[in-house]
Amino acid sequence: MLIWGSGNESLRVRAESTRMCAICGLDRPFSLYLCYGYAHLYYLFSWVTKREYLLACDICRHGNVVPRSAVGTLKDDPIPALRRSGWKIGAGLLGGLLAFAVIGGAVLPRITENARRPHVGDVYECQFDRQPGATADRYGLVRIQSVGAAGVTFVPSKADYADRAGAHADFVARRWSEPEYLDTSHPFTLTAAQLERLRGSGRVFAIWREN
């Protein structure tokens, strides 16, 4: 459902001098007001459609339009930021979604292709299987040690992490090249079917392969 609309608001910008009000027939305090119109989409994504300054009586609110050049310098824009620039939030969200779609479209097929054609030396950034009794997921790296008829043999990193950020930092730094980083004493083998299930589980975030 599309929700959109428009409205008008007036804001008191600053006090001006006391002068005769033609409507009240008395000396009244006058102020500078900003009258503006706006449109919105879903109430949040809004933009200003018109601005008009008015020198008006504070009692009856009648007065005369003042050209912008006569208003002088204003310290800040009186219109609330969300009202005048809410459309930028929508543009930012749309841009983020488009960027995610483009990056996802470029990266995910590469991960899928590499996982389906495993090579010795490939390094996976992934979420580990949860150990018996564990209550939280762990993240780390695994490297392909060998590829054979029985399946693909991996060696895991000795370090694992409670969140993906630690594993990703190791992945970016290519720490698997350090002599003591991989736990070569605990290799494990996945069959082709198991590797395919791992690939489709969403637990493999990136794959590095030597060009």
Q: How many domains does the chain have?
A: 2
* pLDDT at residue number 29: 94
The domain boundary residue, chosen from 73, 89, 105: 89
Domain that holds residue 40: 4-89
Tens-place pLDDT, residues 7-51: 888 889 999 999 999 999 999 999 999 999 888 776 667 888 889
Domain identity same for 171 and 135? yes
Tens-place pLDDT, residues 167-182: 888 988 999 999 899 9
Cβ-based neighbour number of residue 208 at 10 Å? 16
Domain identity same for 70 and 141? no
User: Is there a domain that residue 14 lies in?
Assistant: yes
The domain boundary residue, chosen from 69, 89, 109: 89
Region 92-118 average pLDDT = 58
Instruction: Write the single-letter amino acid at 188.
Output: F
> Which of 151, 149, 154, 203 lies closest to 176, judged by CA?
154
Contact assessment for residue 56 and residue 35, using Cβ atoms and an 8 Å cutoff: no
Tens-place pLDDT, residues 44-88: 678 888 899 999 999 998 999 999 888 888 888 888 877 777 656
